Amino acid sequence: MRIPRAIARSSAFRVRGGRASLAALAALLCLPALPAAAAPSPAAPSPAGAGVVSWVPCDPPDESARCGTVTVPVDWDHPAASGSAQVRIAVRPARDRARRVGVLMFNPGGPGAGAADLAARKDWAEFWFPPALLDRFDIVGVDPRGVPGSTPVSCADPVNPEVPRFPRTQAEVRGLVAANAAFAASCLQRTGPLAAHLDTGTVARDLDAVRAALGEPAISFLGVSYGTMLAQAYAERYPSRVRALVLDGVVDRSLPADRIALDGAAAVQDGLARFATRCAATEACVLRGKDVTAELRRMYARAERGEVRAGGRAVTVEELRIAVNDGLNTPFADAGLAAGIRDATDKGDATALTSLSRYQGRDEYARYRAIICQDMPRVRPEALIGLAGAAARRGPGLRGASEMWDIVSGCAGLPRPAHWTPHAWRVPATVTPLILSGAHDVATPRRWAESVHRRLPGSTLVRWNGDGHGAWPMHNACAIRAAVTYLTDLTPPAATTCPADPARAGRAS
């Protein structure tokens, strides 16, 4: 559910470092004051415990944006006793003030990443948002609690290659559960009470505090991947404050943990087959003419003998599988993924391949784990061995590895229950989301979008063909155009299917 590194390294986002989120990959940047014409709308009621915006100069300056913070309680249910946290925001006002629709809040996925920089930096905003949205909406980016920019969560390094994430014995199950519990305890020890209040329900209340502080009666919201989880939490709590809702790469939050893991494995298997097909059709692909699955088996065998290395140490098979999985999130990573598999298989050098992995950005990955486990339903530890085998059968190419397995295994056995109990959307008929779903999304599979659509009678589902996790910001222009029309005019698209973007069909770079 994370923004692929290949996207972060493309176009205007040529940055170094961590993996998935464009905002977290860059220095904490924001830009300065709104012009006088950008006056707020008439005030809406403020949630109890919410503050006003404390506007601050943005860095680097940009006369078209402004940044600030909103103070929120650590625990919304006990605002006076729990202490406070800061939530960082950035506002980029609508360019066409006479035709301004309202505010568009968004969450680009993760979790563990922010949105403020995407709104504050002009080049990033113009990459992420089509001109019509920049013209008609005040774009509001929020760094959720737990994310740098806002009051952050701090945890120990969650990555320990010596602890199997696919346990085969009860002793390995106990080792995994103990490692998960130690990680969760480190977050509480280093951060304090905030670490226990990072769930989507709490963040949704923060977003409403931002809405109120800006004086807006309602919001439009774009949620990508994890952002769709946040969208559901907000819409269920504040349905009357939702003007429009776009769900791109939707997570079906009605599912139990075992179903999530199995669906993830199947989606990754499909993605691997698609990668092999694209590679076979692309002359520049270094694996062209080879059986990709056979090459992976060769790579695993070398790793099991301790012959694959990166960063001065032997790399485990599990690390290689998660790196390949992360590379499958976008066809923009095809060339690097193919070269990484070749180098690891032929040379025993996994440096390029592991650079695609979420584990490379350790701090961001720690935030990701600390946040997502508060909303992920738990699998019983004693069921892990059987579930790992079932996932491997669903996704034999990567032996069951998927982002969903990484989450399910990383949250197993935690002492605190998840804040979220799986259920379908509970919103009135006035909430009419537009859902965007790619045919071959390896993180949020099409069947989830179909399920959410069936249970939301007022929703519209745009099914787009092609590859990549989420249409936004650059995997499918047709689906994005449909979302723009819906957001600006509240008009569902007449056509609810989109072809693959021709520039990326059948290409491996």
pLDDT of residue 43: 38
Write down how long the chain is: 509
pLDDT greater than 80 at residue 277: yes
73 near 42, Cβ under 8 Å?
no
Neighbours of 419 (CB within 10 A): 17
pLDDT, one tens digit per residue, over 96-151 is: 999 999 999 999 999 998 999 999 999 999 999 999 999 999 999 999 999 999 99
Distance CA 469, CA 232 (A): 19
Q: How confident is the model at residue 507 (pLDDT cuts 50, 70, 90)?
A: very low
pLDDT of residue 2: 57
pLDDT greater than 70 at residue 31: no
> 3-class secondary structure for 405-423?
HHHHHHHCCCCCCCCCCCC
pLDDT greater than 90 at residue 496: yes
pLDDT greater than 60 at residue 8: no
State the DSSP code for 344. Answer: I
pLDDT greater than 70 at residue 4: no
State the pTM of this model.
0.91
Q: What are phi and psi of 465, to 5 degrees?
A: -85, 160
pLDDT of residue 57: 76
**What's the burial of 240, exposed, middle or buried (CB within 10 Å: 0-12/13-18/19+)?**
exposed
Write out the two tokens for 22.
């464009």
Mean of all residue pLDDT scores within the chain:
90
Q: Which of 502, 21, 431, 466 has its CA nearest to residue 247?
A: 431
> 3-class secondary structure for 47-70?
CCCCCCEEEECCCCCCCCCEEEEE
Helix axes 317-327, 292-304, angle to 10 degrees: 150
DSSP string for residues in 125-176: HHHHS-HHHHHHEEEEEEE-TBSBTBSBP-------TTS-SS--SHHHHHHH
pLDDT, one tens digit per residue, over 217-251 is: 999 999 999 999 999 999 999 999 999 999 999 99
pLDDT greater than 70 at residue 263: yes
pLDDT, one tens digit per residue, over 407-460 is: 999 999 998 899 999 999 999 999 999 999 999 999 999 999 999 999 999 999
Query: Which helix H or strand E contains 91, and what residues bound it?
Result: strand 84-92
pLDDT greater than 90 at residue 40: no
Residue 400, by phi and psi: left (phi above 0), alpha (psi -120 to 50) or beta? left
Coil, helix or strand for 76?
coil
Of 7-11, 51-55, 395-399, the least confident: 7-11
Percent of the chain past pLDDT 70, that is, above it, reads: 89
State the DSSP code for 240. Answer: G
If you average pLDDT over residues 252-263, what whole number do you get? 98
Neighbours of 80 (CB within 10 A): 9
Neighbours of 508 (CB within 10 A): 24
Q: How confident is the model at residue 59 (pLDDT cuts 50, 70, 90)?
A: confident
